[in-house]
A and B are shown apart, each in its own frame.
Chain A
């Protein structure tokens, strides 16, 4: 009898050590490198103008009016022209890849664009009232079955909601439902609520494809050229192919 009991101890001893592994397997696996599927010329959450208050519609029309310049990266109204990050939620519609890393306490979304690091806290923490607004906001999340539900607030109003120039205020709250809809696909159902900007909440969805052969590369945006040009006047050494604006103009 006691020998049989001793045998029972074997799996019992192994079980606690296996807890992290088993726990990991019980949550949905969203890990990997992902990118917007297909050609992503339109990095917008809505094909038409979302339901906006009057002031926001005016700003939106003004932002839209620069679409031709935007194609050349020269849009003087786009915050990213001034080297500000795309931020949230625009990053989730962007055409650069991101990597999802899951740990028990935090889900990290690591973007290639601007090397942005999103942290989605799973441990129920809140942030203090006077916490500063951030380009990526403050995100908390929980698993609901096969879905990761994320709430983001505390967003800086210095960003555009997406590429089309939809504005938003610091009251914006974004809810995302991320779900692995297939072996190589994640669907993100987004909901935008901003009582200072929109006349009602509205929704969108994005699909991402798994990119197993991608690496998250370093990218600090086209602004690097600007930094390097300012720097170059004094110290630039030897990167083949760079030309000052004067040299490029053939002077």
Chain B
């Protein structure tokens, strides 16, 4: 009788001391470094003419005209403005998912963008400042993490197709580990100010167990360093001013 009692106590203590571990195991494991599958450095979300309201269609047409050879004067990222949400997912850049009890973190190599997805039930605050990554909340639904994102800066494009959006854009993601090595994200975009109907698309990603997210501040790094170099640059062997590089 006493043994049973002691074992029950021991089990209860183990259980309580382990709450964190058990909780972790009850949620789906989405952790790891992921890269997008499929060909192409860029995979747009918008595959045909997007369903845009007239003002947005006009902006879209203007954006489509802006492409020159590798230098799109209409593309915000040309000016070092971050890719933001959701465009960051159209690129083949790796990201890392880290899960804790209070948040899911999505840490990208491109733009070193950090997404903080709050799981504690908080709501998007009113008049929250617009950011490139937006403000994200999430909850688990079985094997799926459902994320809602709003307050996204309207300076970004949905993807490289030039599709604009307004500050009313809401992105819903259903994120699920479809197999031990694959992640699937089903996207839904709703923007009553810019779109005539919601857009949906799915992207898949594969896990990269041997990859580490590297530091990356984009091609803009070269631009920053060149501006910097004329005055203070000291001793990194490989740097050349443009004049040196062309042999003047």
Contact = CB atoms under 8 A, between A and B. Distances in A.
A45 B229 CA distance: 26
Interface string B145-186: 000000000110000000000000000000000000000000
Contacts of A25: 17, 20
A11 interface: yes
A11 B11 contact: yes
B12 to A, nearest CB: 9
Given A18-B22, A83-B220, A237-B155, 8 more contacts: A14-B14, A21-B20, A22-B21, A103-B31, A215-B116, A220-B82, A223-B80, A227-B80
Contact of A237 (B10, B18, B154): B154
Interface string A1-42: 001100110110011011111101100000100000000000
B124 interface: no
A54 interface: no
A116 B21 contact: no
B241 to A, nearest CB: 15
A234 interface: yes
A148 to B, nearest CB: 17
Interface size class of A (residues with CB under 8 A): 35 or more
6 contacts: A14-B18, A18-B22, A21-B18, A21-B19, A103-B31, A170-B236
B231 A119 contact: no
A135 B21 contact: no
Interface residues of B, number: 58
Contacts of B155: 228, 231, 237
Contacts of B105: 101, 108, 110
Contacts of A14: 11, 14-15, 18
B107 A108 contact: yes
Nearest to B233: A158
A77 B232 contact: yes
A11 to B, nearest CB: 4
B19 A235 contact: no
B107 A227 contact: no
Given A11-B10, A11-B11, A234 B21 contact: no
The 5 closest A-B pairs by CB, nearest first: A21-B21, A18-B18, A21-B20, A218-B131, A231-B79
A136 B225 CA distance: 16
Contacts of A18: 14-15, 17-18, 21-22
B7 A24 contact: no
Nearest to B215: A134
Nearest to B113: A115
Interface string A28-63: 000100000000000000000000000000010000
A150 interface: no
Interface string B104-131: 0101000111101000000000000101
A17 B111 CA distance: 38
A17 B112 contact: no
A84 interface: yes
